[in-house]
């Protein structure tokens, strides 16, 4: 068999160098396993570590700068190669290249990307790229910091001071519920709580959260509820209006076993159903009233609760 030589470097070829008249090294230089751009910039959120190149912020699996970089490189640069799934990648940041800002944030580094063909480990390639990181707050975090990210308002109201304990209890229960929901979905939270004369206003990050809270309240308390909505802007991407939903919740000012006076007759609150109140007097006369009846002070007079005596 005549000797063959590499057309590029002149090396004598053997059986391991079957590549079109080139040695393996020269072949891989001519036909690299992958080719990437030399440098890439992307934004990282200061608070949550979400990253983006254009518009959409992507939440990282782990809020740690090197895992964010790795995740971003896989997503932004290696995606098409990963789809083919024939190369094993290994990413190695070059420590001597790290540049930190005055606030100790990594703003630039070199990263070497090693790749090996899955069924032939001799076929490999490496490329070093420069990474530039810009820090800002993602939409969610800037809204969170600014306290303006709310889509819905919940107004919790009681009749007067005597029911403030109830408001406190409701707030405690609501906070506990929202914390649990937030753990699973960080978009759900109470933006702020504002004291009002007869209760509080809750500013909520989503309408969905409002519905969670309402169903929690329904299972524990009696109230009347009024919903309203107001157009506050336009979602240009989806081409539809953005509404701020408002829900007013007025808690019933009486509870079971309360004694109330109606037209000079004393009644005991025997039962409270979903929308009615069942009352009974000493002569065993039954009276059924709507919730709304008790929101008008002129209709009745609260005497006391049997359990309080």
Q: For strand 87-100 and strand 190-196, is the pairing parallel, antiparallel, or unpaired?
A: unpaired
Residue 68 touching Zn ion (CB under 5 A): no
Alpha-carbon dihedral 54, 58, 60, 63, rounded to 10 degrees:
70
CB of 134 to Zn ion, least distance (A): 14
Q: Which of 9, 37, 225, 288 binds Zn ion (CB under 5 A)?
A: 9
Q: Are 140 and 187 in contact (CB under 8 A)?
A: yes
Tell me which of 4, 19, 28, 47 binds Zn ion, using CB under 5 A. Answer: 47
Closest approach of Zn ion to the CB of residue 46, in Å: 7
Q: Which range in 15-23, 113-121, 184-192, 283-291 contacts Zn ion by CB under 5 A? A: 15-23
H-helix or E-strand containing 96?
strand 87-100
Under rule CB under 5 A, residue 279 binds Zn ion: no
Q: Is the dihedral of CA 292, 297, 299, 301 positive or negative?
A: positive
Sign of CA dihedral 210, 211, 216, 219: positive
Interface with Zn ion, residue 12, by CB under 5 A: no
Element housing 27 (H / E): helix 24-30
Using the rule CB under 5 A, give the single segment among 5-13, 90-98, 156-164, 286-294 that binds Zn ion.
5-13
Does position 65 interact with Zn ion (CB under 5 A)? The reply is no
Find the DSSP H helices in 163-279.
Answer: 164-184, 207-220
Strand-pairing partners, residue 190, are 204
Nearer to Zn ion, 6 or 72 (CB): 6
Whichever of 145 and 234 has its CB closer to Zn ion, that residue is 145
Residues 114-173 that bind Zn ion (CB under 5 A): 138, 141
Q: What is the rounded CA–CA span in Å between residue 57 and residue 115?
A: 28
Helix, strand or coil, per DSSP, at residue 170: helix
Q: Of 8-16, 212-220, 237-245, 291-299, which segment contacts Zn ion by CB under 5 A?
A: 8-16
Judged by CB under 5 A, the stretch of 18-26, 63-71, 86-94, 300-308 that binds Zn ion is 18-26
Residues in touch with Zn ion (CB under 5 A): 6, 8-9, 11, 23, 26, 45, 47-48, 50, 138, 141
């Amino acid at each position: 068999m005549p000797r063959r030589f590499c057309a590029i470097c002149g090396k004598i070829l053997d059986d391991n160098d079957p590549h079109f008249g080139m040695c393996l090294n020269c072949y891989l230089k001519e036909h690299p396993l992958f080719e990437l751009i030399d440098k890439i910039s992307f934004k990282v959120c200061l608070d949550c570590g979400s990253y983006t190149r254009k518009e959409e912020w992507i939440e990282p699996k782990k809020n740690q700068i090197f895992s964010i970089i790795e995740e971003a490189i896989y997503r932004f640069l290696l995606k098409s190669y990963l789809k083919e799934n024939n190369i094993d990648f290994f990413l190695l940041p070059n420590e001597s290249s790290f540049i930190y800002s005055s606030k100790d944030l990594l703003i630039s580094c070199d990263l070497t990307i090693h790749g090996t063909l899955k069924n032939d480990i001799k076929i490999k390639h490496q490329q070093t790229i420069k990474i530039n990181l810009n820090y800002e707050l993602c939409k969610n975090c800037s809204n969170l910091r600014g306290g303006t990210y709310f889509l819905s308002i919940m107004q919790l109201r009681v009749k007067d001071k005597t029911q403030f304990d109830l408001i406190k209890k409701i707030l405690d229960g609501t906070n506990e519920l929202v914390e649990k929901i937030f753990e699973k979905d960080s978009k759900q939270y109470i933006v702020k709580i504002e004291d009002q004369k007869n209760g509080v206003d809750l500013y909520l990050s989503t309408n969905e959260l409002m519905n969670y809270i309402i169903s929690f309240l329904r299972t524990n308390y009696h109230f009347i509820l009024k919903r309203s909505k107001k157009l506050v802007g336009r979602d240009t991407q989806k081409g539809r209006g953005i509404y701020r939903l408002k829900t007013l919740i007025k808690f019933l000012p009486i509870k079971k076993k309360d004694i109330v006076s109606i037209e000079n007759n004393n009644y005991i609150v025997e039962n409270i159903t979903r929308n009615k109140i069942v009352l009974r007097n000493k002569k065993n006369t039954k009276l059924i009233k709507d919730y709304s009846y008790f929101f008008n002070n002129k209709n009745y007079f609260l005497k006391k609760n049997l359990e309080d005596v």
